[in-house]
Structure 1
Amino acid sequence: MFRNAQIQSQIYGKTFRQVSRWHPSSKTCNNCGYYNKDLKYETEWECPQCQKIHDRDINAAKNILKQGLNDLIDETMNLWSRGDSTVILLSWESISP
């Protein structure tokens, strides 16, 4: 699956980043960052810190996108700090639930 996604991203001119499977994407509030360690199998949950109501899958998708972009930015900054003159263009596409 990973290889297929990587090939498809190249065909369509996109950048593919894989986020760790252990990243707590569905248990972390995408609004304030609160980690809900008590979340079990609920499909919706309310953040006790900011009171935002989350659909678990949509919340996870937003957190995975955010983590992937952060990883890509970190990678870019590492290239620049080493003096690499490679320019990496980031594209932002809107994501709607």
Structure 2
Amino acid sequence: MLKFRYHYLLNTLAYQQGEYWNEIPESRQFQGHFGSQGFMLENGWVSFTLYEKKIRAFYKDQEAPTWITYYRKDLPRQNEVIFTFTAKDEVEKINGKWRSKHA
């Protein structure tokens, strides 16, 4: 699973490959739903919604045309945060609402 570094004040996202961090260029950013800021990745996308006390990260990981996994994680509202998604962050849409797959 990728390790991410998000800086919400600068609106930048980088992912770690080996020892190096690769920053997502501005050309691969998008405005998401509910005022979120998103970043297109090679296999999916990740978006961030800012709340008063937290940042909610939502990740679509598309490994193949028919294999898609969604993740959601609440992060501390810090200028910069480094994090990764794990199996416990997996969510699925049930009756129109995103729910944890491991609740």
TM exceeding 0.5: no
Between Structure 1 and Structure 2, the one with more helix by share is 1
Structure with higher Rg: it is 1
Normalised by the size of structure 1, how large is the TM-score? Answer: 0.27
Normalised by the size of structure 2, how large is the TM-score? Answer: 0.26
